Amino acid sequence: MISEKQRPAGASASVTAQIKERALQLGFSKVGIARAEGLTEEHSRLQDWLARGLNGQMKWMERDPLQRSDPRRFFPPAQSVIVVALNYYTEPQHEIGRSEPLTGKISRYAWGDDYHEVVAGKLRELLSWIKAKWSETDGKVCVDIQPMMDKAWAARAGLGWIGKHTNLITQEFGSWVFIGELLLNLDLEADETVVADQCGSCTLCIDACPTAAIVEPYLLDANRCISHATIESRATEIRADVARHLEGWLYGCDICQDVCPWNQTPIATTDSRFEPREDNVNASLANILELTPESYAARFRRSAMKRAKLSGLQRNARALVNAAGADVSSGSGAIP
């Protein structure tokens, strides 16, 4: 009799169930499986979005968009896509008072440790476990930086739906989730249930965006987006039409998520690595402006905020200081 460890690459319902159970044991909040195939409709929408220049300065998205929509072009042996979601919501809130020293808000996803490392670490553990049980397995871990359409795959695997703000929304955790994938050469049973769009007639995210970056439901213009301006943009200064409406955001922006009805009764994450680091909810702009390359590297070690680079963070801080008309040279400026 062939042992389970020697089983050929084709996988049964039992194998699929075991892999899902193990993913949850490793701490993932949700797991689903999709067939590794081309995302035809999603590819068409991506092409249209790129053709309209709505990707802003994210020029890397223009490189081989066909690979981005078909995992087999990235990992040829792929037969299945395991998609995981990890809740990152923590209880602290941004300060909204106006008497505190001049600070800048940081997007919730970047408060703690770099999610790329956390999610990828768990996926590597899952892959190692699968390989130990089924020796012919080969796989590829994907977390954001690989050419995968993360939100589209999460929707395809039944984890949730893509909301009008273009973020994935889950019924259990709202949009406060990180997404990752594990491409496998195993033929697993795919989840056939698609979660229906439950945004309905709600337009709160569209109405709340201060820069009108959500130009229509399900369509984001990155050129106008505060998150793009404060994270992805490498411009020396933030474009004026965005800088006028930063609303205190130093790094990223959560406005469209904060107003979403699906995020009003959040469940706190069980992963302590996403708890805020010191000065990482509302950061002192004076401290940001005083950072040196050395102190920047030390402070943001293993943090997603490295994405903006020191020059970007200090550019953002200057924009907020200018908008507030405050003097932070002594660290005591306050928003008027």
Active site residue 150: no
Measured CA to CA, the distance from residue 334 to residue 336 in angstroms comes to: 6
| Candidates 64, 113, 144, 254; catalytic one | 144
For residues 120 and 143, the answer to whether their CB atoms sit within 8 Å is yes
Ranges of beta strands (E only) in the chain are 30-35, 80-87, 103-106, 139-142, 161-162, 168-169, 177-184, 214-216, 219-220, 249-251, 282-284
* Inter-CA distances, 288 with 161, 215, 280, 322, Å: 37, 32, 11, 14
Position 32, amino acid: G
Q: Report residue 15: phi and psi, to 5°.
A: -65, -45
Please answer whether residues 143 and 119 qualify as being in contact, where contact means their C-beta atoms are separated by less than 8 angstroms.
Answer: yes
DSSP state of 333: -
Q: How far apart are CA 287 and CA 285, in angstroms?
A: 5
Under the phi-then-psi rule, with left for phi > 0, alpha for psi from -120 to 50, and beta for the rest, what region is 331? left
Q: How far apart are CA 319 and CA 323, in angstroms?
A: 6
Contacts of 180 (CB under 8 A, 6+ apart): 83, 84, 86, 119, 120, 122, 123, 141, 142, 143, 144, 150
Q: Which amino acid is at 174?
A: G
* Residues taking part in catalysis: 144
